[in-house]
């Protein structure tokens, strides 16, 4: 199916595209790390060795980090789920309005989540607790990805709204059946 958007974040400013690619690269490295840790744990356990509680908790934590660090970059790179087939039924201006409203609603929801994530981070900083299973790392460091990832995603969405309304942006032609032609 033909995309409604400029591919690969091409319409976003160069610095934003670079940031998106860096976020996705870090998420990819984190995914490889989680996979490596998980495979190592499986092999160690099959050999009869004890791996400790960290071997279960750390890959889960890494997956949370890669999710929150990668989601903003996917907005710019157009790697997220979008209702392109539905949007193709609208004329070009309607596509822009629908995309913008979708992004604005998401920004509001993520903004509410961001406020909660900041409150959680502050609470963890005030409590000063550490995670004993992960070598006494302060809990606030472990949850810091929540506001960071949400903030980056909101930033990418705001940039995309600007890109949608940038003069000279040519929306794709209407293709209500999604034939790709």
pLDDT tens digits, residue range 128-146?
A: 999 988 889 999 999 999 9
Q: Tell me which residue of 10, 158, 156 sits closest to 73, measured CA to CA.
A: 156
Pairwise CA distance, residues 181 & 173, whole Å: 9
Q: Is the pTM of this model over 0.85?
A: no
Alpha-carbon span 148 to 142, nearest angstrom: 11
The pLDDT of residue 31 is: 96
- Residue-wise pLDDT for 76-126, tens only, equals 888 766 666 677 788 988 989 988 998 999 999 999 999 999 999 999 999
List C-alpha distances in Å: 28 to 66, 77, 120: 7, 14, 26
Contact (Cβ atoms closer than 8 angstroms) between residue 76 and residue 141: no
Model confidence at 11, pLDDT cuts 50, 70, 90, reads confident
């Amino acid at each position: 199916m033909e995309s409604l958007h400029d591919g690969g974040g091409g319409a976003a400013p160069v610095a934003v595209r670079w940031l998106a690619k860096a976020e996705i690269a870090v998420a990819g490295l984190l995914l490889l790390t989680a996979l490596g840790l998980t495979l190592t744990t499986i092999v160690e356990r099959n050999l009869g060795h004890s791996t400790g509680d960290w071997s279960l908790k750390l890959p889960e934590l890494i997956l949370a980090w890669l999710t929150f660090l990668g989601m903003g970059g996917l907005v710019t790179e157009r790697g997220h789920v979008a209702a392109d087939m539905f949007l193709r039924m609208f004329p070009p201006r309607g596509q822009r309005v629908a995309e913008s409203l979708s992004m604005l609603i998401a920004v509001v929801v993520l903004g509410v989540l961001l406020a909660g994530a900041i409150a959680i981070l502050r609470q963890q900083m005030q409590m000063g607790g550490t995670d004993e299973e992960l070598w006494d790392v302060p809990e606030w460091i472990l949850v810091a990805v929540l506001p960071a990832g949400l903030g980056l995603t909101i930033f990418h969405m705001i940039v995309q709204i600007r890109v949608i309304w940038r003069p000279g942006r040519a929306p794709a032609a209407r293709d209500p059946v999604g034939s790709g032609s």
